[in-house]
Amino acid sequence: MSHIPLRLGRIAGALALAHVALIFAGISLQQGPLFADGAQGIEDQYVQGDLARTFSGGLLEAFGFVLLVPVLVLLARLLGRRSEEGRWASRSGLLCGIAYVAVVFAVGFPAGAAAMYGAQNGLDADTAFALNNIRLFAHFLSMFLLAGSTAGIALAAIADRTNVKWVGGFGLVTTVALVASPPLTVVQWQDIGSFVWIVWFVGVAVQLLRGRIGAATSEPAPSAETVNSTGSGAEAALLGHS
Task: Read off the pLDDT of residues 195-208 as tens digits, 9 standing for 90 and up.
Answer: 999 999 999 999 99
Query: pLDDT class for 168, splitting at 50, 70, 90?
Result: very high
Longest CA pairwise span in the chain (Å): 95
Q: What span, in angstroms and rounded, lies between the C-alpha atoms of 167 and 144?
A: 18
**Structure letter (DSSP) for residue 166:** I
Q: What span, in angstroms and rounded, lies between the C-alpha atoms of 4 and 151?
A: 23
Amino acid present at 183: P
* Phi, psi for 31 (deg, rounded to 5): -130, 125
Please, which residues bridge with residue 217 across strands? Answer: 5
Helix axes 125-160, 192-209, angle to 10 degrees: 40
Higher pLDDT, 78 or 37: 78
Task: Read off the pLDDT of residues 39-53 as tens digits, 9 standing for 90 and up.
Answer: 788 888 888 889 999
Task: Read off the pLDDT of residues 4-22 as tens digits, 9 standing for 90 and up.
Answer: 889 999 999 999 999 999 9
Q: What is the CA radius of gyration of the chain?
A: 23
Q: What span, in angstroms and rounded, lies between the C-alpha atoms of 146 and 134?
A: 18
- Looking at residue 216, its pLDDT comes to 53
Contact in structure between 37 and 45 (CB atoms under 8 Å): yes
- Looking at residue 91, its pLDDT comes to 97
**Structure letter (DSSP) for residue 187:** G
- Looking at residue 224, its pLDDT comes to 47
Task: Read off the pLDDT of residues 56-108 as tens digits, 9 standing for 90 and up.
Answer: 999 999 999 999 999 999 999 999 999 999 999 999 999 999 999 999 999 99
